[in-house]
Amino acid sequence: MHEAAPVVFITGATSGIGLACAHRFAQAGWALVLTGRRQARLEDLRTTLEKQVPVHTAQLDVSDPQDVAKVVAALPERFQHVHTLINNAGLALGKGPAQNAELDDWFRMIDTNVKGLVTVTRHLLPKLIDSGPGSTVINLGSIAAHTPYPGGHIYGATKAFVKQFSYNLRCDVSPHGVRVTDLAPGMTASEFTLVRMKGDQQVADSYYEGAEPLQPEDIAEQALHVASLPPHVNITCLEVMPLCQQWSAPTILRD
Ligand SMILES: NC(=O)C1=CN([C@@H]2O[C@H](COP(=O)(O)OP(=O)(O)OC[C@H]3O[C@@H](n4cnc5c(N)ncnc54)[C@H](OP(=O)(O)O)[C@@H]3O)[C@@H](O)[C@H]2O)C=CC1
Ligand SMILES: O=CCS(=O)(=O)O
């Protein structure tokens, strides 16, 4: 690992799990590269966290390959040695069965959760290899990768991609000291459902009624744990569920 505080690069740091990771890694003394599309939130975050640790922020839409290339190429010297990449940016869009779905929603999920994740990964792999041994790629998967539910169609499929990509990627990069983890949460209270329901706060709130979901901080704690293990230890897949969730998506997804 590089001698100065290690660098973590987080996509989707403006909300939910990514935001909680920013705070948790800062608390642990890591230097932060924080990215997302919402510039005002990134600036607020930098103002707050740079009192604790070095912070670099960059507005980034992961679904735009040119944007990704530009942001990685423009990393300041202090943030070049990326030790951990948290591929967190992602979303679900829409409810209801596949036969009623908007194709544009499907394309956006694929562009963000699949194309965006692999683009960021590909651009940062040389830096991660350079920072090894013990550098880490943490991909945010989901229990939806292997648990079918009505209305889960493309979202679950994108997360199945993330899981298998993580396993295959590990075969190639582990000889170079880079670890890969598929971090797969169950129901986590964030802006995720509000985005999925396209801003309908009432419906989003009803998703969590009667449940005690995971908090983003619960997942951030696991991400820090995975990235801080001795270099020879690679957690390949870590599934985390709230106690209340056995499985079954709430009926609001059925339309
Ligand atoms: N909440 C849950 O129940 C679960 C979530 N997950 C996964 O965890 C990850 C984080 O979700 P969560 O924190 O819950 O949701 P949030 O909606 O709270 O956060 C999503 C983050 O992704 C960013 N993002 C979305 N699209 C893009 C894009 N095109 N380019 C860059 N950033 C983008 C958003 O930032 P901005 O809008 O500023 O770009 C935001 O910071 C996702 O991959 C999700 O699939 C997995 C299992 C369960
Ligand atoms: O992955 C996120 C939540 S869900 O689709 O499993 O409910």
- pLDDT, residue 247, reads 76
Number of the ligand closest to the Cα of 245: 2
Could you tell which of 15, 105, 113, 142 is best to mutate to test the pocket of ligand 2, judged by most ligand atoms within 8 Å of the CB? 142
pLDDT more than 70, % of the chain: 96
DSSP 8-state symbol, 214: B
Atom index in ligand 2 nearest the CA of residue 147 equals 6
Cis peptide preceding 97, ω within 30 of 0 = no
Report the pocket of ligand 2 as residue ranges, CB < 6 Å. Answer: 92, 142-144, 152, 155, 187, 249
pLDDT band at 1 (very low <50, low <70, confident <90, very high): very low
Atom index in ligand 1 nearest the CA of residue 89 equals 22
- pLDDT, residue 246, reads 86
Atom index in ligand 2 nearest the CA of residue 159 equals 1
**How many Å lie between the centroid of ligand 1 and the Cα of residue 52?**
24
Sheet holding 237-240, edge to edge: 55-59, 31-36, 7-10, 82-87, 135-140, 178-185, 237-240
Domains and CATH numbers, the chain: 7-254 (3.40.50.720)
- Looking at the whole model, is its pTM more than 0.95? yes
Nearest of 65, 73, 32 to residue 51 by alpha carbon:
32
Give the residue numbers marked as catalytic: 155
DSSP states of 72-128: HHT--GGG-SEEEEEE--------S-GGG--HHHHHHHIIIIIIIHHHHHHHHHHHH
- pLDDT, residue 95, reads 86
Number of the ligand closest to the Cα of 250: 2
Average pLDDT, the chain: 95
Contact 49, 22 (CB under 8 A): yes
Please report how the helices 39-49 and 16-27 are oriented relative to each other, as an axis angle in degrees rounded to 10.
Answer: 20
